A and B are shown apart, each in its own frame.
Chain A
């Protein structure tokens, strides 16, 4: 008798829970429609997958910093009301995928910004594309990222565009003929930078004296650099992230190598000067972001960022900042927080005037923008001419 009662109760209660669940679902859906219909601000949840803990946590810190600043400003204007749902990828593919799946499965999330690394995007991108969630990388510069699918975008200038631009200018100025290449061979990003460098060097008819490699987190580069020094190159092409790159330059200068370095996008950070000091002089990089630009928009962003976080923004913060503005622009044009409508609106973004410059997407969702070439002189980034 008792057992029967208990059974009845459990059936009843489970039914209750079930109905409560479905009720909640309907409510959420109703709310969603309401967002589009009303004439007020478009309310939207945007997921963020970023490298917040681990060796590259500095990137995630800069990116989320840029996003939060943009969010504050956009929401204050009142046309779009953005809520950021931030997840940590720890720089790992599996964790990035789990985080992205969580966001994709949450129906309130309309679009995703991130993940930080190209390696992560290579697994997250196809998943988001398959589920029809627009995803925009702000720091993924390896080849082939927007080509993953229609829903995959990026606003970070690809290495294939940036590196040849800086190499061409440097070769012209220094009349370089022989180069040595040094790159990190355990990272898709630096590896793809190397491929671009090698191809560009061949296209320009430069003689490649040697190709040396290193691994992430290495601290001693003396063996490779001594070998390069003995070959006497006119220029060193170095595809490295700034943490390793700055140390490489420091050790090279100490050894007496004084030729210019041409770096990829990951090498482009004020941190290089902080870590390497005088040794950073002579580093040439192409960049979408130049903080000293004589543009009121750029100046305002730099001063606001400094006020908020107590340090100068790097390109990762700037790209993230612009990315959210591009999202907001597209959302405004779409008029509703709908994944497909947002994708179509994003694809149509043209001549967006952000802090990075005049920005458009091409038909694949890749960047159309002119990079600025910079050189470090006397401990500061200057325009390279």
Chain B
């Protein structure tokens, strides 16, 4: 029982973490909360359903297609919703937030028209593979989700910390003008960041589709809000914080159901976030801003 619930919690937490990683990347560089991230995640899930279930193509093609299409969506998001607002005189710093909210509404309605209102099942034989240990059933998907989330976190940490492109990205995050003066192609860096973040959303979408066998146009909204809460909990723009925050929220939600009342699932999980933030306002892994 307990072990099964632990696995449930870690699976849910890993998914939250992957979604939050995409959020945190965009926030770290652009200082923008990308409200369309949840909807891009939802599109990734739908592309997965389309490729594997409707077209009966193998799963790896589904992943490839989802990554490709969400990456293109990321590019479009940056090109048409974010770039025109950058460095313009008189543009409020809230404008990019509002324009991403606009994109998220557009995408939700678009998926409504493209895919229909109902729930779409994910029929991949890969999702059926499981092991039986005693009375506990573990699905391969659950392990894959955890592994992918850890790999993504480590790859991102390595990329940001050790590679030249990562350094350029951090420089851009620190100060756009200075980085640009020092020869960093900031336009390219920003575009690349949004594309990578979106592709990660796409991967998360496919994983959720496989794990829970449920894909709907509304799934992006709650995921997006939770991703937002997680990056605040973990520390804005911090990769390890996103991972830890995701796991904490996932486990908290699961264990509230185990020991308490499932009706208060979200309420208590978010109450925990408020308490943590009262004690550490900068988030778990965030740096204290000295004033």
Contact = CB atoms under 8 A, between A and B. Distances in A.
B256 to A, nearest CB: 8
A226 B212 contact: no
Contact of A254 (B5, B118, B139, B257): B139
B266 A226 contact: no
Contact of A55 (B117, B253, B261, B266): B117
B129 to A, nearest CB: 11
Contacts of B218: 55, 217
A91 B5 CA distance: 35
B137 A254 contact: yes
B262 A224 contact: yes
A58 B258 contact: no
B1 to A, nearest CB: 4
A185 B137 contact: no
B263 A223 contact: no
A276 interface: yes
Contacts of A247: 119, 212-214
Given A223-B253, A226-B4, A226-B5, A250 B121 contact: yes
* Size category of the binding interface on chain B: 35 or more
A86 to B, nearest CB: 17
B257 A224 contact: yes
B260 to A, nearest CB: 11
A256 B217 CA distance: 28
Is the contact region of chain A dominated by helix, strand, or loop, or is it mixed?
A: helix
B1 A230 contact: yes
Contacts of B99: none
A288 to B, nearest CB: 22
Contact of B214 (A53, A213, A219, A277): A219
A214 B11 contact: no
Q: In the complex, which range does the number of interface residues on chain A fall in?
A: 35 or more
B12 interface: yes
Contacts of B211: 220
A219 B102 CA distance: 24
Given A185-B263, A226-B4, A246-B119, A220 B12 contact: yes
Contacts, number: 99
B208 interface: yes
Interface string B76-108: 000000000000000000000000000000000
Given A213-B263, A226-B8, A227-B258, A219 B212 contact: yes
Contacts of A217: 216, 218-219, 221-222
A212 B118 CA distance: 24
Contact of A243 (B12, B112, B216): B216
Interface string A218-257: 1111111011011000000000000110110011001110
Contacts of B214: 219, 247, 250
A274 interface: yes
A271 interface: yes
Contacts of B116: 58
Contacts of A218: 222
A211 B123 CA distance: 30
Nearest to A221: B212
Interface in B179-196: none
B226 to A, nearest CB: 11
B50 to A, nearest CB: 16
A251 B137 contact: no
Contacts of B221: 217
A223 B117 contact: no
Nearest to A182: B262
11 contacts: A55-B117, A55-B216, A217-B216, A218-B222, A223-B262, A224-B257, A226-B4, A227-B258, A251-B213, A255-B137, A275-B121
Interface of B: 1, 4-5, 8-9, 11-12, 112, 116-121, 123, 130, 135, 137, 139, 208, 211-214, 216-219, 221-222, 253-254, 257-258, 261-263, 265-266
